[in-house]
Structure 1
Amino acid sequence: MRVRIRRAGPAGCRMSRMSRVIAPLALAMFALGLDAFVVAGLLPAIATQFGVDTAQAGQAVSAFTLCYALSAPIFATLLAGRSVRRVLLAALGLFTLANASSALAPDFGILLLTRALAGIGAGVFAPLALAGAAALVPPARRGRALGLTMGGMSCGTVLGVPLGLWLAHRAGWQSTLWLVAACGAIGFAGIALRLPDVPAAPPPSLRQRLAMLLDRRVAVTVAVTFLIGVGSLGLYTYVAPILATGGGVTDPTPYFWAWGVGGVAASVSIGTLIDRTGRPRALMAVVLATMSVALALLPSTAGISIASIAVFAVWGAMGWSTAAPQQHILLGLQPRHGGAAVALNSSCSYLGSAAGAVAGGALLAGGMPATRLPFVGAAVIALALLLQWRSLRAGA
Structure 2
Amino acid sequence: MRKVFLLTIGMFALGFDAYVIAGLLPNIEVTFKISASQTGQAVSVFTLFYALAAPIFATLLAGKPMRRILVVALAVFSLGNGASALASSFSMLLMARAIAGIGAGLYSPLAATAAASLVSEQKRGRALGITLGGMSTGTVVGVPLGLIIAEHLNWHATLWFITALGLIAMIGIVIWFPNFPASAPPSLRQRVAMMTNGRVAAIVGITFMTSIASLGLYTYIATILDNLADIPMITPYLWAWGIGGVVGSFSIGTLIDRASRPGLLMSGILVIMALAMFSLPFVLQFPILSFLPFILWGAMGWASQAPQQHELLCLQPNHGAAVVALNSSANYLGSAIGSALGGGVMLAGLAPSQLPFAAGCLVLVTLLGQWGIVSSKRKHGRVRENIENQMQ
TM range (shorter): 0.7 to 0.9
Pairwise CA distance, 1:215: 1.6
Query: Distance in 2 between the 1:131 and 1:273 partners?
Result: 19
Q: Which residue of 1 aligns with 2:104?
A: 122
Matched, 1:298 2:280: yes
Task: Name the Cα RMSD after superposition.
Answer: 2.8
Q: Which residue of 2 aligns with 1:55?
A: 37
Corresponding residue SS for 2:82: helix
Listed as ranges, the gaps of 5+ residues in structure 1 are 1-14
TM alignment of 1:1-396, pairs within 5 A: 23=6, 25-132=7-114, 149-195=131-177, 197-201=179-183, 210-396=192-378
Query: Distance in 2 between the 1:269 and 1:129 partners?
Result: 19
Shift in CA distance, 207/354, structure 1 to aligned 2, threshold 3 Å:
farther
Q: 375-384 or 315-324: which moved more? A: 315-324
Contact 1:255 1:312 in 2 (8 A): yes
Pairwise CA distance, 1:114: 0.3
Contact 2:183 2:321 in 1 (8 A): no
Pairwise CA distance, 1:386: 1.4
Query: Distance in 2 between the 1:22 and 1:150 partners?
Result: 10
Listed as ranges, the gaps of 5+ residues in structure 2 are 379-392
Please list the CA deviations of residues 23-82 of structure 1 after superposition, one character each: whole Å capped at 9, or x if unmatched.
Answer: 4x4332221110011111111111111111111101100111111111021123333454
Pairwise CA distance, 1:123: 0.9
Letter of the structure 1 residue corresponding to residue 296 of structure 2: V
Q: 61-70 or 82-91: which moved more? A: 82-91
Contact 1:73 1:206 in 2 (8 A): no
Query: Distance in 2 between the 1:138 and 1:154 partners?
Result: 21
Contact 2:186 2:319 in 1 (8 A): no
Contact 2:150 2:157 in 1 (8 A): yes
Shift in CA distance, 193/267, structure 1 to aligned 2, threshold 3 Å:
closer
Q: 125-134 or 294-303: which moved more? A: 125-134
Shift in CA distance, 63/210, structure 1 to aligned 2, threshold 3 Å:
farther
Query: Distance in 1 between the 2:257 and 2:65 partners?
Result: 37
Query: Distance in 2 between the 1:77 and 1:386 partners?
Result: 32
Shift in CA distance, 225/127, structure 1 to aligned 2, threshold 3 Å:
closer
Letter of the structure 1 residue corresponding to residue 342 of structure 2: G
Please list the CA deviations of residues 194-238 of structure 1 after superposition, one character each: whole Å capped at 9, or x if unmatched.
Answer: 446433337778875543232212212211111000001111111
TM-score, structure 2 length as denominator?
0.86
Please list the CA deviations of residues 256-278 of structure 1 after superposition, one character each: whole Å capped at 9, or x if unmatched.
Answer: 11111112222333344445544
TM-score, structure 1 length as denominator?
0.85
Identical counterparts, % of pairs: 52
Query: Distance in 2 between the 1:203 and 1:252 partners?
Result: 44
Shift in CA distance, 97/51, structure 1 to aligned 2, threshold 3 Å:
same
Shift in CA distance, 272/239, structure 1 to aligned 2, threshold 3 Å:
same
Shift in CA distance, 58/203, structure 1 to aligned 2, threshold 3 Å:
farther
Corresponding residue SS for 1:307: coil
Letter of the structure 1 residue corresponding to residue 135 of structure 2: M
